[in-house]
Amino acid sequence: MLSQPPATVYGDTQWLMPQLARIAGMGEDWLHDWIGDFNPARAVRIQQAYPLAFFDLHLRGQRQRLLEGPSAAFREVEFVS
């Protein structure tokens, strides 16, 4: 779980909205309302890392420290129970 994410942080919206905003001539305030302060490239990197670690653990049987708790590489992610 990301710390205090905007509502659209998990999905393609985070990556696509800046491109759409430029094409449509939308302002920075409008874009901020959609994606907050979170860097779109960073969001995609997180969205790639955790599923990859999950499948490496469960399909390949490879230990994944990323899934064992908080990671210095992804300080935005919080583990909840």
Span 61-75, pLDDT tens digits:
999 999 999 999 999
Which of 46, 49, 44 is closest to 17 using CA atoms? 44
What is the per-residue DSSP string for 23-70?
Answer: HHT--HHHHHHHHTT--HHHHHHHHHHHHHHHHHHHHH----GGGSS-
**7-54 pLDDT tens trace:** 555 566 677 777 888 888 888 887 777 777 778 788 889 989 999 999
Containing 75, the helix (H) or strand (E) segment is: none
Query: pLDDT at position 58, please?
Result: 97
Confidence band, pLDDT 50/70/90 cuts, at residue 57 = very high
Per-domain residue ranges for the chain?
13-74
Q: What is the pTM of this model?
A: 0.66
DSSP for residue 11: S
